[in-house]
Structure 1
């Protein structure tokens, strides 16, 4: 088992982070490294990913943090990333899904369908790809496998000016629950050997997103 050796609560665990170069991804890399996990981050932006990985390693000397440039909109590329991670480190204990984006509008009727097209890829398609790619590897983690989706309260209480974003989050949650049901059924009488969880927070919108759409 790979270990950072810092004695943290996740010492020995191998955890992948999808969307590692964004603000939430950078914070997650640091927290996981601090907890002792070997962290494998993926993002489509190699420069920002390298900065995030370097920051996590610098903040926690001795931490094992690596980055892989992956197009998570490509299912084959995502499967290759999952297989490479498990082969290199011998296991995969968790996947934290943080790929995201935001588009809003001033009112419901001003919602642009182009915004849905954009968000469907980021919020839904990447969840589909990472869950399909990591499903079997998480089952091989000896009961420790976890898939974690970070979602937002609007998936359960949609707002008029956030229709596309809220719909995308709701679809991602439904897909994740289907993954959880797969783990349950495959566990049989022994119970699930892996789990898929949804972490609902108030907002995933950061300053850069707001600056892009200041009137939304």
Structure 2
């Protein structure tokens, strides 16, 4: 009996920016397994090699750099999804423990959201079914003093992503065309890489008009 092949994302191109984490590896495996062309970026050649061994196209590039992401976008052409996965957590110690050093260490997550959304804007719109998705935290809805730096960065990332959504909607409205590109937020209290991967596979199950500017809870 022939092995069942999952090809639901055949023809889709997905960029995972900053994908050398457990979440990036899980997402790459799931997307590749569903037939997508997966392109992953990272700053670690060793980390990227694990992704390359699993069939992912890899590029040594900084997801927080607009210049590097713009160069990559020019090499790839139209893409169907971009998911910045730069993350990490630092905190604790109440409000007094929210150091400038910790805040600076968390900022790359926001910088990656800004850089990738800007660099791939044209490519996502050219797709006809473009999806921009970020991973945020439930801390945005209920920020704690010990995680104020983290919650602030995640809240800013969400605000930027929602602004991207508004831009997509306005462009469609101004041109009198159907909305085909969507920007969404995934929130988790403690991110399960496999849950995120499964949810990314569903990005095209819903029309952009019903998906754009939505916040989804992964827990």
Look up the match of 1:96.
Answer: 83
Indicate if the aligned counterparts of 1:40 and 1:85 stay in contact, CA closer than 8 A: no
Matches of 1:97 and 1:126 in 2, distance apart? Answer: 6
TM-score under structure 1 normalisation?
0.82
CA contact (8 A) 1:185 1:192 kept: no
Alignment of 1:118-137 (within 5 A): 118-120=105-107, 122-137=108-123
Q: Is the 8 A contact 1:29 1:53 kept in 2?
A: no
Once residues 30 and 85 of structure 2 are traced to their aligned partners in structure 1, the CA distance between those partners, rounded to angstroms, is: 14
Give the whole-Å Cα distance in 2 for the aligned partners of 1:205 and 1:168: 20
Q: Quick one: distance in 2 between partners of 1:176 and 1:16?
A: 16
Residues 74-131 of structure 1, C-alpha deviation per residue, up to 9 Å, x if partnerless?
2111101111121xxxx311111211111112222111111111211x1111110000
Q: In structure 1, which of residues 69, 73, 77 is the aligned counterpart of residue 68 of structure 2?
A: 77
Give the total of aligned pairs. 187
Quote the offset at 1:34 in angstroms. 1.0
User: What is the aligned partner in structure 1 of residue 95 from structure 2?
Assistant: 108
- Does 2:11 correspond to 1:12? yes
Work out the CA distance in 2 between the residues paired with 1:102 and 1:124.
Answer: 13
Superposed displacement of residue 68, structure 1: 0.4
Greater RCO (Cα-Cα under 8 Å, separation 6 or more): 2
| Corresponding position of 1:191 | 178
Tell me, which stretches of 5 or more residues in structure 1 are unaligned? Answer: 1-5, 58-64, 207-216
